Amino acid sequence: MGKQINVALIGNPNTGKTSVFNALTGLNQKVGNYPGITVEKKEGICKLPRGVKAHIIDLPGTYSLNASSLDENVVIELLLNKNDKDFPDVAVVISDVENLKRNLLLFTQIKDLEIPSILVINMADRMAYKGISLDIPYLEKQLETKIALISTRKNQGVKELKELIANYKDLSVKPCLNASEIDVEYFNNLRETFPNQLLYKLWLVITQDVNFGKTDRNEIDAVANFKTKSKSDLKRLQQKETIKRYQFINDTLKKGQKIDLSTAKDIRIKLDRVLTHKVWGYLIFGVILLTIFQAIYDWSSIPMDFIDSLFASLSEWTKNALPAGAFTNLIAEGIIPGLGGIVIFIPQIAFLFLFISILEESGYMSRVVFLMDRIMRRFGLSGKSVVPLISGTACAIPAIMATRNIESWKERLITILVTPFTTCSARLPVYLIIIALVIPEGRILGLSYQALTLMLLYLIGFGTAILSAYILNKVLKIKSKTFFVVEMPNYKLPMFKNVALTVLEKTKSFVFGAGKIILAISVVLWFLASYGPGENFNNAETIITNEYASQNLSDDELQQHIASYKLEHSFIGITGRAIEPVISPLGYDWKIGIAIVSSFAAREVFVGTLATIYSVGSDEEETIKNRMAGEINPILGGPLFNFASGISLLLFYAFAMQCMSTLAIVKRETNTWKWPILQLVIMSSFAYIVALIAYQLLK
């Protein structure tokens, strides 16, 4: 047949909607954002019986059609707009067998929109465990629907669900109940004024503050103006509607659902007492975080080193295999390292999302959010902000991606903007080499001065992030509801398929989202470092050969001097010279200037750039250190890397926004260049001022 139908998956949070989505679509899914907003859009393709293909849209979790968040607005806007290309032919409403009463509120509202609807009762494998029995034929009759009893964990009922979706035209579109009875006169008046419109759709338009961009504007304005009742009257009517629906649901479940509490076994209360305890809860969370951070750091180092060496070998092989020239250099020094700069982040991202997914799937993440909210709220953050802030110590990119589960846009934006202050692993190469140069050997209470300096830099980063969040909370004039509601789902063993698909999707999202920008920047940096204007750059080989003719240098040493001279007179070298007057008050020379400029692509580039500038062929840290230690300050004399300039440089790297890939992710998550540009300007200015004060005071 080749026909394609639209299927919307709708349900409360924590009903297993993602599991049903994964069971239906498998690997045939993609994740993006809804146009113009940062709410995640998940869609996939499912093959149904008789050659029918279904375009499945996994809508954000919502408790009802009375919108209170950006996510819930997305659901309502789609269900009220028949002109939308994603408007569903059939709505699949996911409910959880243990919370059927609450889940059915949303189902009865969707039925009032006269969209063919299927009720999925998920986690059916827990029915015997919880002492629950259901009279499915009775429930189907009362709810005017077909019910699919499924267990995604045991892969039961998925085939039957696909059959029901394929036969969606046989479904009744009759509402379950007559909600207009809450105010007969008002609704009759509304019906007479707009005889060609669906009554419940009119009611939602009047009561909801959502965007109906693609519908007939005049028609909507006419309906919106039909407010013969005040806001408080409308709110009371909404409450009456909810009460009426629950009365119907209670009456239905009295006969359709039996719960034998004597057979239910539940250890949840005992676990919650420990995991949300005001002392033990924080202690357990701290241990889990340390374990995760250590695991991300240790486990990702092996594949990251492998990827690094693989791309270095590939670059070297390309240089040797292809004919010499600009095209070969572009591939070997621009494109391949650019691709390496994207791929090298994959292990950290994959491990981080592996752990986050396991914590979410198990139900523990909701307890963490509840636990941390009371602390974070004082600083304008959400309890959910704690995960990105801590995971930022590995890498800011996956940490910013992890803010997606923060409902309040203001809290989410603040978390995105302050996360880069936390010390990421890319800063470590810079910290280690500068600390080794300027912090003396020695110990206090058994701890070395160098280790204490490193720990202090981590604390400064985290403290600045929290302080910045407090300031942003006061400064940002963004209207955002900040009431805190978190559901405590049941504890369960994570499903391997869900975890694997989450890791795969998030990693793919990074590679194809930020990857394009990182690659482009890498190619631009290569060009700026490989080419330069004027005679000095073009005749570098002749100039250096003549200059060192009397010194009997080896071929390798001569090539290093030529490379260093070329870099100094390249476009990026000229940039370094141009910014020298600006950076010399911080205690830096033009060479450090080049390293700072090039490290805006990625902070760890700093050490590699200095190694090239100082004509060091070896990758050994000691050799670079010795050359750096021997550098003389061109203005003041004495060592360039002394205590004052070293502390200035450490503080500059602690605060500056030197990571183009992070800026790319911030742009992607906020859907605008406004915030990443502000982030770049403010963080870099702050870093400059702090480094300037530190150098001037210490010199």
Which residue numbers belong to the known binding site for Mg(2+)? 22-23, 25-26
Helix, strand and coil percent figures for the chain, each rounded to 5: 65, 10, 25
d(CA 499, CA 496): 5
HSE-CB at 674 with a 13 A cutoff on CA atoms is 4
Q: Where are the alpha helices (DSSP H) in 113-262?
A: 127-130, 136-143, 158-166, 184-193, 199-207, 217-224, 231-256
Q: What DSSP line would sit under 54-93, residue for residue?
A: EEEEEPPP-SSSS--SHHHHHHHHHHT-TTSTT--SEEEE
Under DSSP, the state recorded for 439 is S
- Within the chain, what is the greatest distance between any pair of CA atoms? 104
Burial class (CB in 10 A: 0-12, 13-18, 19+), 531: middle
Which amino acid appears at position 332 of this protein? A
Phi/psi-derived region of residue 442, left when phi > 0, alpha when psi is between -120 and 50, beta in every other case: left
Task: Look up tokens 């709505």; give the residue.
Answer: 91
Using CA atoms, how far apart are residues 550 and 557, in angstroms rounded to an integer?
14
CA neighbor of 343 nearest in space, from 382, 372, 315, 376: 315
Task: Let me know if 627 is exposed, middle or buried by CB neighbors in 10 A (0-12, 13-18, 19+).
Answer: middle
Residue list, annotated binding site: 11-18, 22-23, 25-26, 36-40, 58-61, 122-125
Strands 53-58 and 146-149: unpaired
Distance CA 490, CA 143 (A): 26
Residue entry with tokens 């509601």: 485
d(CA 379, CA 417): 14
Task: Give dist(CA 137, CA 231) in Å, integer.
Answer: 41
Residue 76 has phi, psi (to 5 degrees) of -65, -45
- Residues belonging to the binding site for GTP are 11-18, 36-40, 58-61, 122-125
State how far the Cα of 646 lies from the Cα of 637, in Å rounded to an integer: 15
Q: Which amino acid is at 611?
A: A
Kindly state the tokens that stand for 450.
């160098």
Question: 294 in helix, strand or coil?
Answer: helix
